């Protein structure tokens, strides 16, 4: 039995894009300032996150266990 963890950050999903558009100017939802502080200053692409999941679900990771895989743009959650 294998156990692995993927630590995600924000991803440019349709839901996040809609939330950003409707929250423009809202100080409680200032994702822009957070994003600019990341070493990779952008939201993650959905494919970047799903690729990590697919890797761990595939035979390519058959010897990977107990791992924590950050897919977070450089800022831990």
- From the list 45, 34, 46, 47, the residue with the least C-alpha distance to 75 is 34
Q: What per-residue confidence (pLDDT) applies to 61?
A: 92
pLDDT digits (tens, 9 = 90+) for 5-46: 988 877 888 888 888 778 777 766 666 777 778 888 888 889
Q: How far apart are CA 34 and CA 42, in angstroms?
A: 9
Average pLDDT score over residue span 70-74: 87
CB neighbour burial string for 35-53, b if at least 16 within 10 angstroms, e if fewer:
beebeeeebbeeebbeebe
Model pTM score: 0.69
For the chain, what are the domain ranges? 4-71
Q: Evaluate whether 4 touches 55 at the Cβ level (below 8 Å).
A: no
């Amino acid at each position: 039995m294998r156990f692995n963890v993927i630590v995600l950050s924000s991803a440019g999903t349709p839901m996040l894009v809609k939330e950003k558009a409707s929250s423009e100017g809202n100080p409680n939802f200032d994702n822009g300032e957070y994003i600019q502080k990341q070493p990779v200053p952008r939201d993650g692409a959905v494919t970047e996150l799903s690729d990590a999941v697919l890797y761990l679900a595939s035979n390519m990771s058959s010897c990977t266990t107990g791992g924590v895989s950050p897919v977070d743009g450089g800022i831990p959650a």
